[in-house]
Amino acid sequence: MDQKKTGKFIAEERKKRNYTQRELADKLGISDKTVSKWECGNGFPDVSLLLPLCNELGFTVNDLLSGEKLGEVDYKIKAEEHMIDFIKRNKASREEKIISLFLTLSIIIIAIIGCILGKVYQEPETLACIGIMFLVSLVCIAATWIAVTISLKKR
């Protein structure tokens, strides 16, 4: 799905009905800034707004996702493409949540280990080593999280 194309499509259809962004926003119960964001391609309508938006502007959800009005033959093809895209995005979202949970647990475990070792070894040199080990571990986890997040967003 191309958000810029979809945004232009929303703007064109809104203008065909002589609605301002404010009027469309009022009909949907949202702000005109939200409509502007969609039309600029910097966001996409929430799932709960898809049907009301489509009904208000006179097109289907499949048209919206395609960024154009579709003929009957194209409609079926695009519907399948959109379903596959939805499944891929859903899978990526689940993977992001699992990785986020893993990284959070890793940080908690490192913090607990650092606290336990700090209590066991209360000598200044040992505490400094534990602190450095803790910071290095946090940097590694953060770097891993950033790399995985970037990789998932490229999908």
Q: For residues 34 and 89, state if they share a domain.
A: no
- What does the chain come to in residues? 155
| pLDDT, tens digit (0-9, with 9 covering 90-100), for 57-98 | 998 888 888 888 877 666 666 666 766 677 676 676 777 777
| pLDDT, tens digit (0-9, with 9 covering 90-100), for 38-56 | 999 998 888 888 889 999 9
Sign of the torsion formed by the C-alpha atoms of 29, 30, 35 and 38: negative
Q: For residues 57 and 107, state if they share a domain.
A: no
E strand or H helix that includes residue 80: helix 72-120
Per the structure, the count of domains in the chain is: 2
- Which range marks the domain in which residue 8 is found? 3-66
Give, rounded to a whole angstrom, the gap between the first and last alpha carbons of the chain. 12
pLDDT above 90 (res 10): yes
| pLDDT, tens digit (0-9, with 9 covering 90-100), for 98-134 | 777 777 777 777 777 767 766 666 666 666 766 777 7
The CATH number linked to 9 is 1.10.260.40
Q: For residues 132 and 78, state if they share a domain.
A: yes
Pick the closest to residue 63 from 48, 52, 75 (CA basis): 75
